[in-house]
Amino acid sequence: MHNHITADTGHQAADSRPLDADKRRAQEQWEANPCGAHIAKELPFGTREYFDAIEDYRYNSYAPWMKQLIGFDRYKGKRLLEVGCGTGTDSLQFARGGVVFTAVDLTPRSIEIARKRFEVYNQQGKFILSDAENLNFPDESFDVVYSFGVIHHTPNTERAATEIHRVLKRGGKAIVMVYHRSSLYYWGGIILKRGLLRGELLKASPDELMSRYVEHTETGGRPLVKAYTRNEVRKMFSMFSACKVEVNQLTRQELGVLGRLMPENMFQWLARNFGWNVIITATK
């Protein structure tokens, strides 16, 4: 593992704490299976075409609701921290929107790819190898903290939420996504399809099934994966002065034939009530 990860715009030492087993598994998962990289595996790594393909899939095919809900262009001039940048797809959108950008990630490979992405698109940012539960920044360092699909992979998710609160300035905003336990994917794809119809709950717990099937893997990685109800995330973020909770993320393909036939307004209702993502927008 690298001891120091820097970007062209700055230098900061990585957190040197030893990783526990769950964090090592998460690190190994995204070292071998970088987030979104399977979409562009036929393209030359690190080229504009490679990164464009990942970006196009994320915002036009997989989650077309994201740009409007997240509002990547609403924070010009703000100091923004991304906790868990992955391969830098969302990072790039914030940088294009004019933020003063810093990111942390547990995985050296993710840091490497995200830095390369910023170089390709001539954007500025600082990237640091670090742990979401132990952010190496002073209190009230950032105007915005963003973390999409990350803190549900760390053992102490509540501590990660507390760290996000700590490093935010008073009045600052946190935008965080975790997986939704009251979702069609959890109950239909994991519990019913995998667990009951295929009999896997006879040999494994729901948590083990989540670890086995949720994240894309070509190497058999099994990172820790958790999911939360709306009430659970409201409790987790109760230290904030205000907390808005929204749900989204569903594709018509997940619904099979029904998905192809369903009217758009019904499909959107399902996505906003039983989608796979819970998005928390909280103000300190």
**113-152 pLDDT tens trace:** 999 999 999 999 999 999 999 999 999 999 999 999 999 9
Counting Cα atoms < 13 Å in the Cβ hemisphere of 128 gives 23
Q: What CATH number corresponds to the domain at position 55? A: 3.40.50.150
Residue 5 lies in a domain: no
Average pLDDT value for residue range 39-65: 96
Residue 12 lies in a domain: no
Residue 145 lies in a domain: yes
| φ, ψ (nearest 5 deg) of residue 178 | -130, 165
Position 18 confidence tier, pLDDT thresholds 50, 70, 90 = low
Residue 141 lies in a domain: yes
DSSP conformation class of 2: -
User: What is the predicted pLDDT for the residue at 220?
Assistant: 83
Could you tell me the sign of the dihedral formed by the alpha carbons of 120, 124, 127, 133, in that order? negative
Q: What is the rounded distance in angstroms from the CA atom of residue 146 to the CA atom of residue 102?
A: 10
CA proximity to 249, closest of 272, 232, 269: 272
Give me the percent of the chain exceeding a pLDDT of 90. 85
User: What is the predicted pLDDT for the residue at 271?
Assistant: 98
Yes or no: say if 145 and 81 are a contact pair by the CB < 8 Å rule. yes
Q: What is the rounded distance in angstroms from the CA atom of residue 169 to the CA atom of residue 47?
A: 37
- The SS3 assignment for 44 reads coil
Neighbours of 213 (CB within 10 A): 16
User: What is the predicted pLDDT for the residue at 112?
Assistant: 96
Q: What is the rounded distance in angstroms from the CA atom of residue 256 to the CA atom of residue 265?
A: 17
**212-270 pLDDT tens trace:** 999 988 888 899 999 999 999 999 999 999 999 999 999 999 999 999 999 999 999 99
CA proximity to 146, closest of 92, 89, 85, 95: 85
**176-219 pLDDT tens trace:** 999 999 999 999 999 999 999 999 999 999 999 999 999 988 88
Yes or no: say if 79 and 99 are a contact pair by the CB < 8 Å rule. yes
Is the model's pLDDT at 95 over the cut of 90? yes
Phi-psi region of 222 (alpha: psi -120 to 50; beta: other; left: phi over 0): beta
Residue 13 lies in a domain: no
Yes or no: say if 78 and 72 are a contact pair by the CB < 8 Å rule. no
Position 10 confidence tier, pLDDT thresholds 50, 70, 90 = very low
Residue 9 lies in a domain: no
How many domains, the chain? 1
Range of the domain at 150: 21-283
Residue 1 lies in a domain: no
DSSP conformation class of 21: H
CA proximity to 110, closest of 244, 14, 17: 14
Residue 229 lies in a domain: yes
User: What is the predicted pLDDT for the residue at 12?
Assistant: 39
Which residue in this structure is represented by tokens 């810093």?
A: 102
